[in-house]
Amino acid sequence: MVRSWQQLSRYSSTTKTSSKMDGAWVYLVTGGCGFIGEKIVELLAQQDYVKEVRVFDSVPREELEKFTTATTHVTVMKGDIRDYNLLLAAMQGAHVVIHTAAIVDYGNTVPFWEMRAVNVGGTENVLRACCVLNIPYVVYTSSIAAVGPNTSHEPMFRGNEDTKYSGEVELPYGKTKAMAEKLVAEANGRKVQNNGGKLATCIIRANTVYGEKATFLKDLYLLAKARNSVLNYLEPENTERNCTYVGNVAWMHVLAARNLQLKPDLLAGQVYYSYDDTPTRKGFLIRHQLLSSMDPSVRLGSRIPYWKMWLIIHLHRIIKVLLYPFWKPQPFLNLPLLNTIVTTFSYETDKASRHFGYKPLFSWAESKQRTAQWLKATTGNMGSHQAQAAKQDG
């Protein structure tokens, strides 16, 4: 059952003391019903040092309470991180916050002010509440988009967390994540109220994340099937971008949160790129391997030239303006996203392994299999009308 914040507040007052007495930890995961957040909740519930996992999400799904075990209770509640009072009530009695809640919008379909209010204002609320409630540990889910590419489309080729890269970030979503990162970094070391302790924060930058419930893979598959099972692509063949399985991104969060408690002097204030053993940095090859492992008929097609897609984007924009409000098309590729896709932005690191012993929990073979099983289940009943709709939208 999804609990109201009043119910959870009363429940928190009874669990706070016992949690501290028996040494078990209470975690709160903002955005815990999201793509990465759900995996974090699932893995946290399997840890014997965690007594309770609270899921705070604006679109709650009570089925996450199925992750409850004999030793770990999962509680789902509804709340918006822009509402400070709701957040404060939810965080009562928690010891660790993993902050994943955000509007993830690469297509510029959400107004910038709204994305900023959630991604930046919401992060500010989380940090403020931690200081008021004496919650000393925060792990923040960021994105490689917070770093780049920049508006000059300068590449980063196999950099790392210490690589210097400057310029204005290209994607509006990335701008908001960069602002939020700055807040989290500045909050590290800030004094919390009453007990004289200090806030310890760290940041995990996710990249192109695939796996179960990655809707972009489902959309690509439907599009490929509508085009005779041919999967075309946009990026030049020498373009590099890291891809990571969602379960491994989540596992890195779990380990980082635990070691932020155990080794705060080492992890506090640090930034970590997520990574695993996904075998290539060429995104079009990974997409093809993931789709073809589920449906061998999917064939890798050819690259769509930049100039052609640039022209299509501008024509689409002109037609949209001319026909508005009579025609409201589906979200379409935009120029900032196109420039991001065709720009190399890759990294090579083992920092998480060195600092807190991270190793991928899922191998490439397991990651591919799990993704394929989900794709098959979610597209298995695809009818001809769906394929035709995908063809028309494309």
Q: Which residue among the candidates 173, 210, 273, 275 is catalytic per the annotation?
A: 173
Whether 233 is catalytic is no
Q: Are 31 and 43 in contact (CB under 8 A)?
A: no
Give 36-94 as a 3 state SS string: HHHHHHHHHCCCCCEEEEEEEECCCCHHHHHHCCCCCEEEEEECCCCCHHHHHHHHCCC
Q: What is the DSSP letter of 161?
A: T
- Name the DSSP class of 198: B
Type and span of the H or E element at 230:
strand 230-233
Q: Checking DSSP bridges between strand 137-143 and strand 96-99, what pairing results, if any?
A: parallel
SS3 of residue 99 by DSSP: strand
Q: How far is CA 312 from CA 16, 305, 315, 322, 323, in A?
A: 57, 11, 5, 15, 16
What residues act catalytically? 173
